[in-house]
Structure 1
């Protein structure tokens, strides 16, 4: 019996999550001894035939052609793992979901009539069944290796679902929001980055997307907003980054109720 086969696919994205796999360096040598990389155009033009045991999918669905291609990827993949904010939440390009995509195209392109795009940028799970989602912008190298190792061992990946605040406590960070009044999305953001930004004195900006609350399975984004000391426009901007669609689903524009100064519970 041969080695399990791996395919890596790109949709609307910046390639950063695919590069995370290449950045595994020494671990990649061990990995390729256990898994046959059959399809990975970022690394090689050689393409092995499917079906593939595991497919890693980066990027969101943003064109009609993407819809057809992701159905093909699902059909030739025994397991499909989405990697990164684009694939799991629509990415920063999901800002189009709250605007007029035709207006965007008219400003960006000299001949917008040649551009074919969907009105929305949506995650892979909105179109086909997904076996596992790996968050981040970009994803964490250690978590990616854990997902692949879990597949080889026939178990579910051990990836945290708690908030960045847990990682701050583990690192011994002083809370930037409590001690310095710095706006921080750590309480509502899923762990995975190691609390890099708070460790260097700045607030978390939510690159791993919303963390599930223990009681409801979703973050209390509305509850956090009054503690950020921001106007509606400022709060909307903070939530409008890599996981804009996911965060705005929890707290749509204007949810902070105006300037939060003096309105904390």
Structure 2
């Protein structure tokens, strides 16, 4: 009986989410005995053609070539899972969505005429159907292993959709906003990091993108109360998941 075939592809990204998979070490060794890693350039020179039972895609769509490439990846994949802020929300590079990308190109490159790029950075789901989106910058290794094993076992991944505030409560971390007046995106950010920043007396920066229930109109007044002006609020939200939050809610 043949093993399920796993593929990992990269678009525009820093490779951090693929490195998270490689950092799983013991879990990855066990995984290699349960699947055939057919395409994973970060880990192996073996690159076999599809079809694939499970495909992980890191990175956002920022070039015409990648806009076409994701359709080919989707066609070759029984299940397609996007991993990380870039693949699920356009990533930090989605800051281009709020500016003139041609001006950036002229400023950065000596010969901009050789650079082929799109005006926006968009998630994979804006181009093809996606079976699951795993958020984070980078993704959490425990959640990543859970998603892979869930799809291989034919069940729904057990990845909660609540906010970072739940994780603060679970680990007994005092709310940095209530106790210290520290601006924090925890109330509107998807759980998964273990509330790492608040545990070190820092406000959440929103690495994991919006949670399942986002109430920005309630949070924005608190951010302003704690010292952020309107421009600072926009910058705070335009970070790892720049294009995720609805601008109309805080302008």
Give the TM-score of the pair, scaled to structure 2: 0.97
**Pair 1:82 & 2:82 matched:** yes
| Alignment length (residue pairs) | 248
Pairing 1:125-144 to 2, within 5 Å after superposition:
125-144=125-144
Structure 2 Cα separation of the partners of residues 248 and 178 of structure 1:
25
The Cα shift of 1:222 comes to 2.4
Q: 1:1-265, aligned counterparts within 5 Å?
A: 1-213=1-213, 219-229=214-224, 230-249=228-247, 251-252=249-250, 255=251
**Does the 8 Å contact 1:10/1:57 carry over to 2?**
yes
- Runs (4+) off by over 4 Å: none
Q: Over aligned residues, Cα RMSD in angstroms? A: 0.9
Aligned residue for 1:133, secondary structure, equals strand
Q: Which runs of 5+ in 1 are unaligned?
A: 214-218, 256-265
1:249: Cα distance to partner?
A: 4.2
Deviations 1:5-58 (A, max 9, x none): 000000000000011110001111101111111100011111122100000000
2:55 partner SS = strand
The answer to whether the 8 A contact 1:221-1:250 is kept is no
- Closer, same or farther: CA 249–4 of 1 in aligned 2, 3 Å: farther
Q: Is the 8 A contact 1:239 1:248 kept in 2?
A: no
Q: Does the CA contact (< 8 Å) of 1:5 and 1:52 recur in 2? A: yes
Contact 1:61 1:124 survives alignment (8 Å) = yes
- C-alpha separation between the residues in 1 aligned to 2:237 and 2:118? 22
Distance 1:123 1:243 in 2: 10
Q: Does the aligned pair in 2 maintain the 1:85–1:138 contact within 8 Å? A: yes
SS of equivalent residue, structure 2 residue 82:
strand
Range with greater deviation from structure 2 (180-189 or 242-251)? 242-251
Distance 1:183 1:141, change over 3 A: same
Shift of 1:63: 0.5
**Match for residue 259 of structure 1?**
none
Report the CA distance between 1:240 and its aligned residue: 1.1
Distance 1:118 1:221 in 2: 29
Deviations 1:210-234 (A, max 9, x none): 0121xxxxx1112201101310011
Check 1:40–1:249 CA distance in 2 against 1; reply closer, same or farther (3 A cut).
Answer: farther
User: Retained in 2: the 8 A contact 1:54–1:80?
Assistant: yes
Which TM-score applies when normalising by structure 1?
A: 0.92
Partner SS state of residue 204, structure 2:
coil
1:41-98 Cα distance to aligned partner (Å, 9 max, x none): 0111111221000000000000000111101000100000000000000000000100
Alignment check: 8 A CA contact 1:222 1:250 kept: no
1:152 CA displacement: 2.1
Q: Distance in 1 between matches of 2:247 and 2:236?
A: 14
